[in-house]
Structure 1
Amino acid sequence: MADAEEHIGRQIVEAQHSASMDDLFRLHAGWLRTFLLRRLRAQPADVEDIVQDTYLRAARQPTTVIVHPKAFLSQTATNLFRDGKRRDSVRARHRESVAHAGAGTGSAPPGLLEQEAALELERLIVAMPDTYRDVFALSRFRHMTNAEIAAHLDISVKTVEWRMGKALAFCASRLRD
């Protein structure tokens, strides 16, 4: 019996808390938007997200804790705004360091350089004329000798060597561009 009464009591408190959050939002959301735009100079696109996150944080607080709603809301919104700016700054520095590293310093993450190299190689092979591509792919990816390639393609070894030279010259010219 006591458990049932306690459960009903918790439901009543939660319902009151939900109603008070609705009231808090209805009374102060417009003021909070203006505060963010004018005082913090937040971007209009970010304002609604910050307002929503502010009320989500407020909803986690017991209603008795929020004695001065405007002070609570403005401080919470300010903290969220600063956190967002800090995150943006860290991301911008990271993007800048990756871009700077990719510009030739050699300190870019190895996985990124490998992916870029693989993509560039794929582009080169796709752009290569078919006759060069066949010889190049059999040599570099199937690790076949010139004699094996000649037998496989039913051409002479001299033709394999000539086409391989042309394929490598094609790659070199594309990489210089």
Structure 2
Amino acid sequence: MADYRKLQDQQLVHLLQNGSHEAFGEIYKRYWALLYRNARKMLQDDQDATDVVQEVFTLLWERYPVIEVEISLSSYLYSAVRNKIINIINRNKLKNGYAASLQQFLAEGSRVTENEVREREFAIEIEREIANLPDKMRRIFELSRKQHLTYKEIAEEVNVSEGTVKKQVYNALKILRFKLGSYFFLFLMFVFYPFR
């Protein structure tokens, strides 16, 4: 019997795609705590972080025959957690936005909320920081995050290798994470769901 602890992530993914409970168990043991800490840091709530990670692993098991891990298993799992957190933030934002808007409307007869002003200011700050990226990096980043092109499509568009595209997107995210500081996670939400 194979020692699943010694297998590399890619081998575990292959076994998982073939329905291996043992491979799933090893992935769970290997990544649960790491994903939980990441989610906990972003959500600042133990139960929400636990729920997010459990949901990601539930979906991983339910969709094992069709999962596509393009870069690495860790990247796939971290992206899945990030997307779940974005959904939570959006749901909370909608609830909070509605409550704030209603309260302000009742108090002042206006639908303009302080949150909308903050969102607008934050959107402007994000666009300013993206505009400050080096030209080639900015173009690649915008094709990736705003036009949602694949790395391959971007590589063909700007006539560079896929590796260069990946590196440029990684470097752009690194710069923006530094520039936007603690608001970086909110930045990701605005990139995928821009303020209109």
**Larger radius of gyration between Structure 1 and Structure 2:** 1
> TM-score band (shorter)?
0.3 to 0.5
